[in-house]
Amino acid sequence: MSNHIFGGEYHSTFKGRGMTFSEVRKYQFGDDIRAIDWNVTARYSEPYIKVFEEERELTMMLMVDISGSGFFGTTSQFKKDTITEISATLAFSAIQNNDKVGLILFADEGELYIPPKKGRSHVLRIIRELIEFQPKTKKTNINGALQFLSSVMKKRAIVFMLSDFIDEGYQRTLKIAGNKHDVTGIRVYDKCDEEIPNLGMIPMLDAETETVQLVNTSSKQVRKNYKINALRLKSEFIDAFKKSGSGVINVREDEDYVRKLLGYFKAK
């Protein structure tokens, strides 16, 4: 899928920022006179210009939320599984262009940092960590993760942050990161993250604090408050990323993320 679907889209969406010298050739009508190589022109007594090509090598950083809320899903798989699939797809797309790929796994703090590197074996290591790594804590701290990014990444990078974004208070650090990097937030969520069904009185586990509380889901007011809070967090996520100049992708865990990613690349 990375080879046939995303390789070209990724290549055309994210471009290198520098230009490297390629060769000189004879001046042709319409060429920019600012590109004339005066030394070569003087040597051959006719105008030659410098030809530059775009520096393609880029660095992609995957920032992946591995907190407790990722181990939730009401369809075929957990949110964590969808996040892992998307991360793998993006990583393989990057190495098709000979770009470097790095990884930050975070929960309540930065749990693991793998510096950016090229190659298939490196990407396979990243995928192995996405599948097997066990965090020390189960809570989420997006603000702390963004601060960690700023401390380890001094050069500009393409940053994909994958999380369910059930957190608050990260707007300022996101703006700082967005000024330096090309950031995209990919929010992966379950339908029951936004709307709770009427199941009567049930015990509900908070996956991040591991506390259990009885909730009367037959109450219309309870379901309404649940939905209002979920939509507020979603709105804060979208506003924070857009105000920082960053991209936004919303993927429900049972949706086709391929279509969502391609749509985003084409629009960008």
Residue 11 lies in a domain: no
Which tokens in the block code for residue 155?
Answer: 């050069």
Residue 249 lies in a domain: yes
Of 99, 88, 84, 157, which is closest to residue 123 (Cα–Cα)? 88
The pTM of the full predicted model, rounded to 2 decimals, is: 0.82
What is the rounded distance in angstroms from the CA atom of residue 62 to the CA atom of residue 89?
11
Residue 10 lies in a domain: no
Residue 114 and residue 126 in contact, taking contact as beta carbons nearer than 8 Å: yes
Residue 2 lies in a domain: no
User: Which residue, chain included where needed, has tokens 């009885």?
Assistant: 214
Q: Are residues 231 and 153 in the same domain?
A: yes
Q: Domain range for residue 29?
A: 19-54
Q: Are residues 89 and 42 in the same domain?
A: no
Residue 69's domain is classified under what CATH number?
A: 3.40.50.410
Q: Are residues 100 and 163 in the same domain?
A: yes
| Residue 94 host element (H or E) | helix 79-96
Cα three-residue angle 56-62-64, rounded to 5 degrees: 170
Residue 9 lies in a domain: no
Predicted confidence pLDDT, tens digits, the chain (268 residues): 666 566 666 666 776 555 556 678 899 888 888 889 999 999 999 999 987 655 557 899 999 999 999 999 998 899 999 999 999 999 998 888 889 999 999 999 899 999 999 999 999 999 999 999 999 999 999 999 999 999 999 889 999 999 999 999 999 999 999 999 999 999 999 999 999 999 999 999 998 988 999 999 999 999 999 999 999 999 999 999 999 999 999 999 988 999 999 899 888 8
Please tell me the total count of domains within the chain: 2
What is the rounded distance in angstroms from the CA atom of residue 45 to the CA atom of residue 53?
25
* C-alpha dist (Å) from residue 178 to 11, 102, 175, 238, 253: 21, 18, 5, 14, 26
Which tokens in the block code for residue 25?
Answer: 């050739």
Q: Are residues 126 and 43 in the same domain?
A: no
Q: What is the model's pLDDT at position 2? A: 66
Residue 248 and residue 267 in contact, taking contact as beta carbons nearer than 8 Å: no
Of 186, 190, 242, 240, which is closest to residue 62 (Cα–Cα)? 186
Q: What is the model's pLDDT at position 56? A: 59
Q: What is the model's pLDDT at position 23? A: 79
Q: Are residues 158 and 38 in the same domain?
A: no
Q: Are residues 91 and 122 in the same domain?
A: yes
Q: Are residues 108 and 29 in the same domain?
A: no
Residue 196 and residue 217 in contact, taking contact as beta carbons nearer than 8 Å: yes
| DSSP code at position 36 | B
What is the rounded distance in angstroms from the CA atom of residue 182 to the CA atom of residue 97?
17
Kindly report the number of other CB atoms within 10 A of residue 226's CB atom.
Answer: 18
Q: Are residues 139 and 245 in the same domain?
A: yes
What is the maximum span of the chain, computed from C-alpha positions, in angstroms? 90
Q: What is the model's pLDDT at position 237? A: 97
Q: Are residues 175 and 106 in the same domain?
A: yes
Q: Are residues 83 and 132 in the same domain?
A: yes
What is the rounded distance in angstroms from the CA atom of residue 132 to the CA atom of residue 128?
6
Cα atoms in the 13 Å half-sphere on the side-chain side of 229: 12
